[in-house]
Amino acid sequence: MSIFDILGPVMVGPSSSHTAGAVRMGQMTRRLLGGEPESAEILLSGSFALTGEGHGTPRAILAGLMGMDPDDERIPQSFELAGEHGIKFSFGTVNLRDAHPNSALIRAKREGRDVEVGASSPGGGRIRVFSLDGLPTSFSGEVPTLIVRCEDRPGHVSRVTGAVAAQGINMSKLQVERDTRGGTALMVIECDQRIPYKVKVAISAIEGIYNVTRLNPGEESK
Amino acid sequence: MSAVTSIAGLLKVSAEKKLPLWKTVQLTDCAEQDMSEADSWEKMKNMLSVMRETDQSYDSRRRSLSGLSGGDGGKMEDYVRSGRSISGPLVGEIIAAALRMGECNACMKRIVAAPTAGACGVLPAVVIPCGKAMGLPDERLIEALYVAAGVGQVIAQRASISGAQSGCQAEIGAASAMAAAALTHMAGGSSEQIANASALALKSLLGLVCDPVGGLVEVPCVKRNAAGAVIALTAAEMSLAGIESRVPPDEVIDAMREVGEKMSPTLRETAEGGLAATETARKFRENR
C-alpha cells in the first residue's frame, strides 16, 4: 500500500466504491469491448441498486464506458454527453446472488460484437470482474492481464501460453473456463511484466481465437 | 527501511537516521514503490493543488443529487464574515472549509480522498486555512501532507480506514488524527508531539459509528468533517502545549480496531442503525 492510497485517489465524489469504482467498471467494459459502445444496458445489484442513484453510480458507469477517468469532472453530465455521442443506454436492477453488495452487470455492443461484464467494487475505487460473457472469472486489471476468448479445443492453452513465454513474460496466474465442451473458452492470464502489442498479434493469429484483450495498468487501450 | 506498521517505528527510524518525520514517510514510500523523491514530491504537490482548486471552485448554490447537501459552507462563510463568530475567524474558516469540501464531494466535484471520500474535508480544512494564517510556504504544507499520509498508513495497516469495516471512527477519526499530526508539524512541533497529537485526536473520536441517512455519503458525513477538523485543531494545540496522551498512539489505533470489531454491522455503513434508522431517515427513503 502506497501513501497515495491514503492521500488519494483524486476522484469525483461522493463515494470511492459507488462512484470511482463504478467509473472503473465502465472503463473495464469498454476495454473488453475494444472501444466505445454503440449501446449499453447497465443492471445494478445490491447496494448499487439501493443507493446508486444518490451516489451517481449510473452516471459513473456510463462515464467509464465513454472512457472517462474517475477524476473527470464531466462524470455528472455523462447522460447528456452519451446522448451527444449517440450512445443508446438503459438502466435496471438485477439480483446477483453471491455477489459483493456493490455489483453490476454491464452489457455493451459495438460493431456487431457484444460483451457482458459482471463486476464488483469492494472499496477504495478498486474493482474485480467476477464474470465475463456468462463465464465465472476473477481479475482486477491491477496487474498486466491478458484475456483471451477462443474456441474450446485441444492445444489452445499451450499455444497461447507459449506466445506469452516467447516474449520472456512470466505468468503469475492462469484461469481457464468454458461454457460447453467444444464451445467457447475464456483464458485469463495475469503476468509480472507489461504485455506488449506483439503478444496480442501472435495470439490473434492462432486459429480459433475469437478475441484478445490486453490490460496494462496505467495504459488506456482505447 | 521496512514497511510502516507503527507510529513508534516511524519515530524510531526518524531518530536513527536524524530525519524529520515527513522525510521518513516519503523515503519509506519511495523505496516501497520504486519511485524517485522528485516524482513523489510532485505527486504530493498535486494533491495540495487539487484540494485548493476544489475549495476555490465551491458554489454555495450547488446541491447534491439527493438534495440533502449544499449551501452550508456558504452559510458558515457569511456568519464568519459578519464578525459574530464566537471562536473567531480562523476556527470559523476551518469549519467553513470542511463543510465546503464535504459538500463538493456530495455534489460530485473532484476531491482528494483523505483517507476516504466521505472524510475528504478534514485535512484540507486545517492545512489550507492554518497555513495561510501562519504565513507558511507551500513546501511546509506539502511536508505536512506526508506526515498525515504516514499516520493514515499506520492506521490503515494496524486497524482500518473503512467505515464498512470499523465505522466512522476509521474515516473521520483517522482523518482527524492525520490532520492533527499535519498541523503539529506545520507549527514546528517535534516528531513526538506530532505522534502525540494524532493519538489525542483519534481518542476523541473512538466509537463513532457509520450511520449514513439513505446510505448516502451526506448526512451526517458532511458536518462530521467540520467536527473532525476542529478536534484536530484541539489535539494539535494540546500536544504543542506539552500535554501528553496517557495511551500511546499505536495502542489507541489498536483500540480503534478492537472497537470496530465489536461494533454491530448495523452501525457499519449498512444504513440500518443510528441516524440511518431514525424516523426522519425512514421518511427520506420512502419519499425517494
Residue A111 dihedral angles phi and psi, to the nearest 5°:
45, 50
For the segment(s) A145-215, the CATH number from 3.30.70.260, 3.40.50.300, 2.40.100.10, 3.90.1150.10 is 3.30.70.260
- Asked whether B98 and B122 are in contact (CB, 8 A), the reply is yes
CA–CA dist B108, B131 (Å, integer): 26
Per-residue pLDDT of chain B (288 residues; tens, 9 = 90+): 455 799 999 999 999 999 999 999 999 999 988 899 999 999 999 999 999 999 999 999 999 999 999 999 999 999 999 999 999 999 999 999 999 999 999 999 999 999 999 999 999 999 999 999 999 999 999 999 999 999 999 999 999 999 989 999 999 999 999 999 999 999 999 999 999 999 999 999 999 999 999 999 999 999 999 999 999 999 999 999 999 999 999 999 999 999 999 999 999 988 999 999 999 999 998 887
The verdict on a CB contact (< 8 Å) between B216 and A51 is yes
- Shortest Cα–Cα distance, B181 to chain A (Å): 14
**Pairing relationship of beta strands A88-93 and A39-46 according to DSSP bridges:** parallel
Q: Which helix (H) or strand (E) holds A109?
A: strand A102-110
The answer to whether A126 contacts chain B (CB < 8 Å) is no
Number of alpha carbons in the 13 Å side-chain half-sphere of residue A181: 0
CA–CA dist B286, B283 (Å, integer): 5
The answer to whether B217 contacts chain A (CB < 8 Å) is yes
- Shortest Cα–Cα distance, A98 to chain B (Å): 17
Terminal-to-terminal C-alpha distance of chain B: 52
Return the C-alpha cell found at B173: 477519526
The answer to whether B30 contacts chain A (CB < 8 Å) is no
Say if residue B140 is exposed, middle or buried (CB neighbours under 10 Å; 0-12, 13-18, 19+).
middle
Residue A30 dihedral angles phi and psi, to the nearest 5°:
-60, -45
Q: Which helix (H) or strand (E) holds A88?
A: strand A88-93
The answer to whether B161 contacts chain A (CB < 8 Å) is yes
Facing A54 at nearest CB: one of B29, B46, B66: B66
Average pLDDT, chain A: 94
- Asked whether B179 and B232 are in contact (CB, 8 A), the reply is yes
Sign for the pseudo-dihedral over CA of B262, B266, B270, B271: negative
Partners of A149 in the β-ladder: A186, A211
Nearest chain A Cα to B40, which residue?
A: A4
Q: Is the peptide bond before B115 cis (omega within 30 degrees of 0)?
A: yes
pLDDT at A102 over 50: yes
Domain boundaries, chain A: 3-132, 145-215
Q: How far is CA B264 from CA B136, B169, B261, B270, B271, in A?
A: 44, 14, 8, 10, 12
CATH topology for the B7-287 domain:
2-methylcitrate dehydratase PrpD (1.10.4100)
Q: Is pTM beyond 0.95 here?
A: no
Question: How many contacts, defined by CB atoms under 8 Å, are there between A and B?
Answer: 121
Partners of A189 in the β-ladder: A146, A174
CA–CA dist A122, B41 (Å, integer): 29
Partners of B252 in the β-ladder: none
pLDDT at A122 over 80: yes
Partners of A110 in the β-ladder: A113
Three-class SS of B2-49: CCCCCHHHHHHHHHHHCCCHHHHHHHHHHHHHCCCHHHHHHHHHHHHH
**Neighbour order of strands in the sheet with A88-93:** A88-93, A39-46, A102-110, A113-123, A126-132, A135-139
| Contacts (Cβ under 8 Å, ≥6 apart) of B265 | B272
The verdict on a CB contact (< 8 Å) between A71 and B110 is yes
The verdict on a CB contact (< 8 Å) between B108 and A16 is no
Number of alpha carbons in the 13 Å side-chain half-sphere of residue B94: 26
Return the C-alpha cell found at A16: 470511492
pLDDT at A222 over 60: no
Note the pLDDT tens digit of each residue in B140-172: 999 999 999 999 999 999 999 999 899 999 999
For chain B positions 37-56, those within 8 Å of chain A (CB to CB) are 43-44, 46-47, 50
Closest CA to A108 of A37, A59, A24, A35: A37
Q: Is the peptide bond before A217 cis (omega within 30 degrees of 0)?
A: no
What pLDDT sits at residue B287?
Answer: 84
CATH topology for the A3-132 domain:
60s Ribosomal Protein L30; Chain: A; (3.30.1330)
Identify the band that residue A123 occupies on the pLDDT scale cut at 50, 70 and 90: confident
Identify the band that residue A220 occupies on the pLDDT scale cut at 50, 70 and 90: low
Note the pLDDT tens digit of each residue in A147-199: 999 999 999 999 999 999 999 999 999 999 999 999 999 999 999 999 999 99
